[in-house]
Amino acid sequence: MPSRFVFAVGAILLLAACGGSTPTGNGLGTGALTVGVIAPFTGADAGLGPAYYAACLPAALSINNNGGVGGRMLSCSKFDTRGEPADAVPAANQMVASTSGLMAAIGCTSDEASTVVPIIDRAHIPMFCMTGQSEFNKTPLKYFHRLVPADVYDAYAMVGSALFGPGHAPYKKAALVFGDDIGSQAFVQPATNAFTKLGGTIAINQPIHLGAPSYRTEVQAMLASHPDVIFTEALGSAGTYLKEVKTQNNGQMIPFIGSSATIDPEWFQQVRDAIGLNDLLKYYAGVDLGYTFTGPAYAEFKTNLDASAAQFPDAPKYKQRGSTLHLYDGIIMTALAMVATNSSDPTVYNPKIIDIANGTSGATVVNTYKDGVAALKAGKSIRFEGAGGQNNFNQWNNSQSGYILVGYDKDGGEVRAGELTPDQTSKIFAAGGS
């Protein structure tokens, strides 16, 4: 099994925030509420949308099973961006113009964030986005929230795994095999910068067209460059590519390190079926945030995720998908912000989301929507620590946390161990320019 490591990402800035309030009256309004899931449900990155939809359904159950938001029940609506900026614009316009009771939006991946985030922000709708693009590292947009680090840190984590991960000799010659989509290509330059400045060599930089029926020519060129490791994110196409690697390499695999998006049940199944379970377990390493998959918040998330199978049969597969956990938390925090401000006006409750995520001096820590509402009704200020763990938003509404290196177990569960030293972390950041 590959070695694993953990390191902190960036400095964390805690924001000063106001205290709690006791919600009274009917300022929360009436009628149904909706969360818009705006993401690829078709196209090359169609695997992303279901992971985000799987976040909304259990959040809706948690809220609705405990009285809703001031009695208003929550549902989830899908808006397909097809992973294309041009297709994402009408989807975003439709979502903000025609969806009644739009409480929040989730999704907005790197494929389409540049075009849809400004539309959602102008509509004053709080959003929780899964884009890793650096343009949002210091965004002035008030309604944008990011609960995961930028893609640059995923890239640094992959470099750290290759050069410093215990259990194997340093990998010094890497093939970069990333999809040709916007999101996947965001990893290439930071990985190249850090890896080469720390003594590594890029054997080949190979953008591959996602969804192609064969990668015979591409794999032939990659193998001819003789890498000792592959860095990759090629969602939906990894199985096809890696199967070709094994076929052309006389039945032998090459170690491959994936981004956090490769910690996904569909990805696991595709690659397992393509190269076999034993080779997947032996040669794969991925990077992820430091989830524990334990505690009361996670227990409620998992219970409601399992119950969501009645509406979305694949929902339970996403019990260890980091983005699913984070977006679930984002929805719960938004609902709590509405209760805390006794308002259905996003210009009023949006700032409260940060207060509830970061907490204030003397805040009561809550792990579920039910407990959060009870604390607010008791006049307490709260800090929500959810299924994805603690959040710490900076002044640009980015919440940053630490990375781990992970592998899979035979059932597709995440496995982790080991850590990268602070000195090694500093070297990667310095080499990458961060």
User: And the tokens for 58?
Assistant: 């259990």
Domains within the chain, CATH numbers bracketed: 6-16+28-149+293-384 (3.40.50.2300), 151-288+405-432 (3.40.50.2300)
Confidence bin at 362 (pLDDT 50/70/90):
very high
pLDDT at 19 (0 to 100): 39
Provide the CA 427 distance to its chain's centre, in angstroms: 25
Is a pLDDT exceeding 80 seen at residue 419? no
CA of residue 74 relative to chain centroid, distance:
22
Dihedral pair phi/psi, residue 366, rounded to 5°: -125, 150
Distance CA 50, CA 155 (A): 24
Q: What is the mean pLDDT of residues 350-371?
A: 96
Model confidence at 112: pLDDT above 60: yes
How far is residue 278's CA from residue 407's CA, in Å, rounded to a whole number? 12
Query: What confidence tier does 121 reach under pLDDT thresholds 50, 70, 90?
Result: very high
Question: CA-based angle 202:207:208, to the nearest 5?
Answer: 130
Strands (E), 63-211: 74-80, 102-107, 127-129, 144-145, 173-179, 201-208
**What is the mean predicted confidence (pLDDT) over 91-100?**
95
pLDDT band at 429 (very low <50, low <70, confident <90, very high): confident
Mean pLDDT to the nearest integer, 357-386:
97
Contact 112, 130 (CB under 8 A): no
Q: Find, among 372, 365, 387, 366, the residue nearest to 302 by Cα.
A: 387
pLDDT for the residue 404: 85
Confidence band for 26, pLDDT divided at 50, 70 and 90: confident
Express each pLDDT in 245-303 by its tens digit.
999 999 999 999 999 999 999 999 999 999 999 999 999 999 988 899 999 999 999 99
For 100, residues 6+ apart whose C-beta sits below 8 A from its C-beta are: 31, 32, 34
The closest of 182, 115, 185, 117 to 145, measured between CA atoms, is 117
434 — pLDDT class (breaks 50, 70, 90):
low
